[in-house]
Structure 1
Amino acid sequence: MSQLTIKSLLFLFLVFSYLRGFSQDTTAKEIPVIWDLATCLQYAKQNNIQLKTLRLTTESAKQDELQSKSALLPNLSGSASQSFNHYNLNTNGTTNAINSSGAYGLSSSWTLYKGGYLKTDIKQKDLAVQSANYTVLSTENDITLSITQAYLSILLDKESIVYNKELVKTSNAQLAQTQHLFNAGTAAKKDVAQFEAQLAGDNYNLTTAENAERQDKITLKQLLQLPATHNFDIVKPDTVISGEPIPDLQTVQQYALQNRPEVKNAELGVRISGYDLDKAKSGYLPTLTLGAGIGTSYANDPTYNAFKQFDNNFYQQGGLTLSIPIFTNRINKTNVAKAKIEMAQSTLALENTKTTLALTTEKAYITTQNAQSQLASAIEQLKYNTEVYRIATQELKIGVFNIVAFYQQRNLYVQAMQSYIQSKYNAALAAKIYAFYLGVPIKL
């Protein structure tokens, strides 16, 4: 192999390796390590398998629509046949021959009238495409709420971890101080054991909070459908508390009933079933079809030229066919009856969707009110318990304390802090969900 060829191959290998590495780097950059809520929602909308499947369903509905439109046009088909026959020229069978013949043609038909079925089918297929799009939007909304809930659960876990780490740090300091007092003879061994038990409990709670964060991260990764081995964490916003007033229930319900995709989809379901009824009724009406065809044929004949046969045998035909249904074994009557039943079912489905949505928004309204009231109470409770616990901690530092009273105050403080963290994120989640029914995008 020449030196020039070796250099060329080496150059191509280096270029391929670079492009491959660049491609891998680009692919890796598509999945970030640190996620904010907006990134989570956008990624899910683009990559969620359920949404991808529904979008393919929409594409399938579009193909059905195109097919229904094409039914208004005439069709065209060709035909060709060729045959060969073996026979004997002489009676004694000493000479054999093969005879051939063929026929070729084009035919077309065009449905001119079918009781309005074709145009009704086009309208129905167009609504089916819209319905499929609304199904995608409705599923996007469901995934948005699920991701938001999972995201806020992780934020709650993170804050709980920080809070429990502070408790562990405080318990270590209190244990060290009590151990020092015990060594000096001013504290009992029981006091040291109690602080050791307190530290063990705080470490347990910290481990529980860390495990909860891992579990909630797995939940969010499943919603995003990220690889199990992908390193993953979320951004903690400066605050998740919304001080905006709650919109009144009537405004939210009215907007939701007019704009939510599940309602619009149910309304389309009623219209689609109405077109099914129209199509069923068209079965009682006649069908008018225009047909046309051309063709020719030949047979192998030594005395008759094949091209002249093509010319002499060339034919053209055209005509109209009128089909009038007289007795159809109750097929049309059954189709109309079933279409009416389907339309009644679609109407009930629409009413149920509206009722469910109205109750859901009312529940979200009540949940938001309760969550904000609980948050206000938790803030007050934490404020006073923090001050009492601070005083008790100061008394512990100077050696003027009652161990029973200290533990009581500490437990009240811990409960107040836990209630505050829980109620803060509950209030944030409830407010975001309620505003979402008013068409407000979820942001942190």
Structure 2
Amino acid sequence: MLNLRKLRYNLLLTSLLLMALQGYSQGISQAVPAIWDLETCLQYAKTNNIQLRGLGLDKQSAEQDLLLAKAAVLPDLYGSAAQSYNHYNKATGIANSTLNYQGSIGLSSAWTLYQGGYLKTDIKQKDLSVQSAAYAIEQARNDISIQITQTYLSILVDKESIIYLQDLVKTSVAQLAQANKRFNTGSAAKKEVVQFEAQLATDQYNLTAAQNAERLDKISLRQILQLPEKLDFEIVRPLNISTTADIPGLAAVQQYAFQNRPEIKNAQLGVQIADLNLQKAKTGYLPTLSLGAGIGTSYAKDPSYNAFRQFDNNFYQQAGLTLSVPVFTKRQNKTATAKARIAVAQSELSMEDTKTTLALGTEKAFINVQNAGSQFSSATEQLKYNTEIYRIATQELNIGAANIVEYYQQRNLYVQATQTYIQAKYNAALAARIYEFYLGKPIKL
């Protein structure tokens, strides 16, 4: 009976686990697609990439700082209450003791009326910090979009390489089979068979290397997208990939980039934030005027009248102005102002560095898109001629008009031309998308 009950318990537990796993897997499949195109990758990364999520939290923190700065111009209000007891023995011959108590309650408020403009300046600075955090998110999105596009195209290179390498393996298998037949009939030497075997092993090695490269590139893409580790996914291989781009002059692209790129706007905000911080530091030399007020009452144990009468008799109100004038602050204000000026100079240098980096980036993209287009055109012609020569060499080998050494020379040239063509095609596509991206165009293959 005990074993039967235990068996039923195990079956029930197993059923519950299977149901939970099934529900979990369905949740994963609903949340994460199995087939990804480039647009899906870009959109998914915007909400799931850890770097972007961290920057989003930074923006939320900056927004809280802004709310705090706005609230600083308002008066505060604090309540207080105190209660104490004391016990002592009376100095009489009769054992006796007394327990007394006393307490107080009250409200107090303070309001900064003037602080040299510090509070208003702080609000402006915190507002710019929120904008800066938003531009930081946009800049990170741009960088991640480029990373995703590069990795996505690397996977496409791997996939296309795998396709043609699989064809080469099939061809090598068929040629080896024919060579074995000729060897068995005595029309071919063993050396020829071994050469075909060696070529098949080389083709299989290259195919395996391409498949491994695809796996590694998928891991890189999964890491950028923050996909579950054991989730298997595939990317869409477009039928047509645009390798050309609208190439306006470099000056026009740089002008647009300087006016619209988030890194430039963020650098400009950095200068403004540093300047406001300098203004805040200068307010340390100015006086501060604040208004304070409070009301309260106190009570104690007294046999002559009750506590409620004490609340009324001991009730007090007070209000007053406080003026604080910095006379000697042990160089604190002077040092704070000097360091704020240094921070302004540093922010200006950072802005110049950002502009220089962007100018060089756009110029590099301009050169890359031109070179990549020319290389793709040359690679297309090279593949065209080597494909035809390889076709002729294959026919000659089949009819015995060419030896195997000449055939493999042409075959290797064809393989190199194919690899060059695939790489050049996707390099041209990537260069075109990056150059267009500087003009604010979304990335599309």
TM-score, normalised to structure 2, is 0.92
Question: What is the deviation of 1:304?
Answer: 2.4
Distance 1:175 1:308 in 2: 114
**CA offsets per residue over residues 254-273 of structure 1, 9 Å max, x none?**
11111111111111110000
3-state SS of 1:327 partner: coil
3-state SS of 2:401 partner: coil
Equivalence for 2:41: 40
Structure 1 range deviating more: 88-97 or 113-122: 88-97
Conserved? CA contact 2:243–2:425, under 8 Å: no
Equivalence for 2:168: 167
Change (3 A) 1:24 1:231: closer
Structure 2 residue 347 is the aligned partner of structure 1 residue 334? no
Change (3 A) 1:316 1:189: same
Equivalence for 1:187: 188
Equivalence for 1:362: 363
In structure 1, runs of 5+ residues without a counterpart are: 1-13
Equivalence for 1:321: 322
Structure 1 range deviating more: 187-196 or 271-280: 187-196
Equivalence for 2:210: 209
Change (3 A) 1:206 1:70: same
Change (3 A) 1:77 1:93: farther
Distance 1:106 1:19 in 2: 56
Conserved? CA contact 1:177–1:397, under 8 Å: no
Structure 2 residue 116 is the aligned partner of structure 1 residue 124? no
Distance 2:276 2:417 in 1: 61
Equivalence for 1:53: 54
Conserved? CA contact 2:369–2:428, under 8 Å: yes
The code of the aligned residue for 2:258 comes to L
The code of the aligned residue for 2:346 comes to Q
Conserved? CA contact 2:243–2:426, under 8 Å: no
Distance 1:362 1:76 in 2: 59
Distance 2:184 2:91 in 1: 134
Equivalence for 1:79: 80
Conserved? CA contact 2:243–2:373, under 8 Å: no
Change (3 A) 1:20 1:167: closer
Distance 2:244 2:400 in 1: 43
Structure 1 range deviating more: 343-352 or 31-40: 31-40
Distance 1:307 1:218 in 2: 76
Within-5 A mapping of 1:93-108: 93-108=94-109
Structure 1 range deviating more: 159-168 or 324-333: 324-333
The code of the aligned residue for 1:413 comes to Y
Distance 1:89 1:176 in 2: 119
The code of the aligned residue for 2:172 comes to S
The code of the aligned residue for 2:422 comes to I
Question: What is the deviation of 1:426?
Answer: 1.1
Within-5 A mapping of 1:15-34: 25-34=26-35
Question: What is the deviation of 1:328?
Answer: 1.2
Distance 1:25 1:201 in 2: 42
Change (3 A) 1:38 1:337: same
Distance 1:409 1:20 in 2: 55
**Deviant stretches of 4+, over 4 Å:** 17-24
Structure 2 residue 269 is the aligned partner of structure 1 residue 280? no
Distance 1:347 1:174 in 2: 68
3-state SS of 1:319 partner: strand
In structure 2, runs of 5+ residues without a counterpart are: 1-14
Identity of aligned residues (%): 65
The code of the aligned residue for 1:176 comes to A
Conserved? CA contact 2:162–2:210, under 8 Å: yes
Equivalence for 2:154: 153
The code of the aligned residue for 2:279 comes to D
Distance 2:374 2:203 in 1: 29
Equivalence for 1:401: 402
Equivalence for 1:412: 413
Within-5 A mapping of 1:218-229: 218-229=219-230
**CA offsets per residue over residues 176-198 of structure 1, 9 Å max, x none?**
33333344444333222222222
The code of the aligned residue for 2:236 comes to V
Equivalence for 1:312: 313
**CA offsets per residue over residues 106-127 of structure 1, 9 Å max, x none?**
1101001100000000000011
**CA offsets per residue over residues 137-169 of structure 1, 9 Å max, x none?**
111111111111111111100000000011111
Equivalence for 2:7: none
